[in-house]
Structure 1
Amino acid sequence: MHTWLAPARLAVAALAAVALGFSGYHAATDPTGVVNFFGYFTVLSNLAGVVVLALGGWAGLTGQRPLPGLVRGAVVLYLVITGLVYGTVLAKYPEQLAIPWVNDVLHRVMPLVVLADWLIDPPERRLRPRAGLWWLGFPLVYLVYTLLRGWAVGWYPYPFVDPAVHGGYRRVAGACFLIAAAFVLVGAGILAVGNALAARRDARHGTTPRGRRAHARTT
């Protein structure tokens, strides 16, 4: 691993933690409230990003075992989708721009950083295709929770999941289908690129990819 990568991870994790703290304080002092604050996928994905970058940076500084690629890849997927959805759908909504610099950190900087981190330091072992299926579990649980809680309390974190907006549940279903397709496609791309870069690294270092079980025993 590059010597500069560990401190860079810690620095970005600290920046994102400060941004989340500012955003959380802002939510606690306005009608959003703390509970609703943690109902945003942006907040949850960035919290996961802070943890992954901080642990990865600490492991790099102390020589400990790196985080599993399965965990890192999931966070990369969630943050990349966060950035894409914000850039294509949410940026035009004024309420999403309450603290511009925080939005820049959480919706632009963090997605780009974790993706770059994945490309610079690919997973330590080859990930199997079913890893992508595990990555989809959290977004599915989040969607179900958001719809059920929204129906119960009348608050939705994003306009495209709010059936009260023009189009009702048919529009919500369409938006969820498109985002689900984005999760599948982006997740497959992250998995494929990570495996390709890991294989290239192993070939360059003359090692056998650790995700492949090559039992070459003589009898």
Structure 2
Amino acid sequence: MRTSHSELERLALDQLEPQLVRRGYQLIRNPSRADLPSFVEGYIPDAIAIGRNPKIALEIKGRGGFDMERSLATIRKRFEGQDDWVFQVFYFNSLEPLVMKLPADTIDEQVKRVAGLARTDAQAAFVLAWSVLEASARESGLLDDRPGGANRIVSLLASEGYIGRSQVSDFLDLANLRNRIVHGQLDIEPSEADVERILTLVSIIRTSDEDNTPH
């Protein structure tokens, strides 16, 4: 399964955003022409970082090539001599770690660990349950070796029929809950039932995978 350019761009920006925030920037994705200085001459970057100087125009790219580098050089020239703006390019393969498929027994152990942890620390169990869910989706061949992202995983599982149409909104809410916790909103307390819902989905994925395995 190949990840789309837009999804890779989002993943790259998800990794960059905390770094930029720590430096005092605000990230704006898909900026409008009104967000940009006139000297860019119609060029619109993938994102901009503002809030301090120099502001940053961000371009997210995959593997380079001569034509792409020549195009980037043309854009870079527009920023030369500008004190309050800089142009920066980030590449997928330098930002995105590869995530390996885990053996089934390792996932089995983690499922038991999460279930036990949920009784004493539902918040930690909830975050770990999402990792187990992603590992299970990768084990079943639904994900490749790139990081999934909670919202993407929900969308993928819905499209593959693992999440019913009436459940999608609820699981997206859980994904949002997970993202808020891992990005620092530590006053959120998921319930043990929230953890159980994720583990139930893990079981559905893995049971379905076993049923479809040739004997």
Task: Indicate the structure with greater helix content.
Answer: 1
TM-score by length of 1: 0.26
The answer to which structure, 1 or 2, has the higher relative contact order (CA under 8 A, 6+ apart) is 1
TM-score by length of 2: 0.27
